[in-house]
């Protein structure tokens, strides 16, 4: 298990100082292997003893074991060229495991019910998260009405937050290299009374407390760029679940939309 996954798994068991140290590890995975343990502690602003306790809490014997592991990881979100010919078979295996782990989370069913029952659904995503958010909004809009995407090009979020209230759902995509102010937005969204769902890679654990539900979705693979295969599979599972949850009204909406496509000759047949 990668160190970022271990941090996500054990985050709730860590002390506040260990969480502070863990956050530093997640932010600097690429170059941590070049530091000594004392330097890592200084970088995180914690004691060396705290850093050592964190390593043990994560299942490592000592920092040497952590260093060996860190050397195998690249900077979160930063593309690095893969030396030699990529092992595509190993890549496919890891992708398969990531998809299975993501869609099998207990919280998925809870999110499906929320998205089906909410008065309004707002799907939010910036940067790399935006295409995933756009796809989810498109799929949900086939099954139910009043599904919004934010932010729209050239727009900010204040207007979107102004209309939110209890009974609404806000689903936020938060994959790594999130924009500054991401945490502030989550807190503002939660303050409206709407139910907030966060879908993020393991580095998003620091923002999980601001959401009612957090679904972990890994993006780091064996190739140079992040993979969103698990994220897109989760979108399909959520949309399918909502359509099933809504039953006949959802199916009737799909049929009505398809008939409109035909009348407007909008898609190929």
List, for residues 92-107, the tens digit of each pLDDT value. 877 888 888 888 888 9
Structural tokens at position 17: 């100082």
Who contacts 74 (Cβ-Cβ below 8 Å, separation ≥6)?
A: 29, 30, 80, 220
Who contacts 7 (Cβ-Cβ below 8 Å, separation ≥6)?
A: 22, 25, 26, 58, 202, 205
Closest CA to 212 of 85, 113, 72, 102: 113
pLDDT at 77: 47
**228 φ, ψ (degrees, to nearest 5):** -110, 25
Q: Is 1 exposed, middle or buried (0-12, 13-18, 19+ CB in 10 A)?
A: exposed
For the packed helices 63-70 and 3-10, what is the interaxial angle rounded to 10 degrees?
Answer: 120
pLDDT at 33: 62
Return the CATH number of 97-264, one of 3.10.129.10, 3.40.720.10, 3.40.50.10490, 1.10.3210.10. 3.40.50.10490
Please write the tens of the pLDDT for every residue from 47-95.
988 988 888 888 888 888 877 766 555 444 454 545 556 667 877 877 8
Average confidence (pLDDT) over 263-269: 74
Q: Using pLDDT thresholds of 50, 70 and 90, give the confidence band for residue 29.
A: low
Average confidence (pLDDT) over 108-118: 92
Please write the tens of the pLDDT for every residue from 206-244.
888 888 888 988 887 767 677 888 899 999 999 999 998
Return the CATH number of 3-70, one of 3.10.580.10, 3.40.50.700, 1.10.10.10, 3.40.1000.10. 1.10.10.10
Q: Is the pLDDT reported for residue 156 higher than 80?
A: no
pLDDT at 86: 66
Q: Where are the domains of the chain?
A: 3-70, 97-264
Q: Is the pLDDT reported for residue 187 higher than 80?
A: yes
pLDDT at 216: 86
């Amino acid at each position: 298990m990668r160190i970022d996954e271990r941090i996500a798994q054990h985050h709730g068991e860590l002390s506040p100082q260990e969480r502070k140290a863990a956050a530093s590890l997640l932010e600097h995975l690429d170059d941590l292997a070049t530091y000594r343990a004392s330097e890592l502690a200084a970088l995180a602003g914690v004691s060396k003893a705290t850093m050592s306790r964190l390593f043990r809490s994560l299942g490592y014997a000592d920092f040497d074991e952590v260093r060996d592991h860190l050397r195998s990881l690249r900077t979160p979100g930063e593309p690095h060229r893969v030396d030699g010919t990529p092992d595509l078979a190993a890549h496919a295996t890891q992708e398969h495991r990531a998809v299975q782990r993501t869609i099998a989370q207990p919280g998925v069913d809870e999110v499906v019910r929320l998205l089906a029952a909410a008065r309004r659904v707002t799907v939010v995503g910036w940067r790399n998260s935006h295409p995933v958010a756009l796809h989810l909004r498109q799929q949900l809009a086939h099954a139910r009405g009043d599904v919004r995407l934010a932010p729209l090009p050239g727009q900010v979020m204040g207007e979107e937050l102004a209309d939110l209230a209890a009974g609404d759902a806000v689903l936020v995509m938060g994959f790594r290299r999130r924009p500054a102010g991401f945490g502030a937005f989550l807190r503002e969204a939660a303050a409206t009374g709407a139910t907030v769902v966060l879908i993020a890679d393991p580095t998003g654990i620091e923002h999980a407390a601001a959401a009612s539900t957090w679904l972990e979705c890994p993006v780091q693979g064996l190739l140079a760029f992040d993979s969103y295969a698990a994220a897109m599979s989760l979108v399909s599972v959520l949309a399918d679940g909502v359509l099933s949850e809504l039953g006949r009204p959802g199916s009737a909406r799909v049929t009505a939309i398809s008939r409109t496509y035909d009348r407007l000759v909008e898609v190929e047949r």
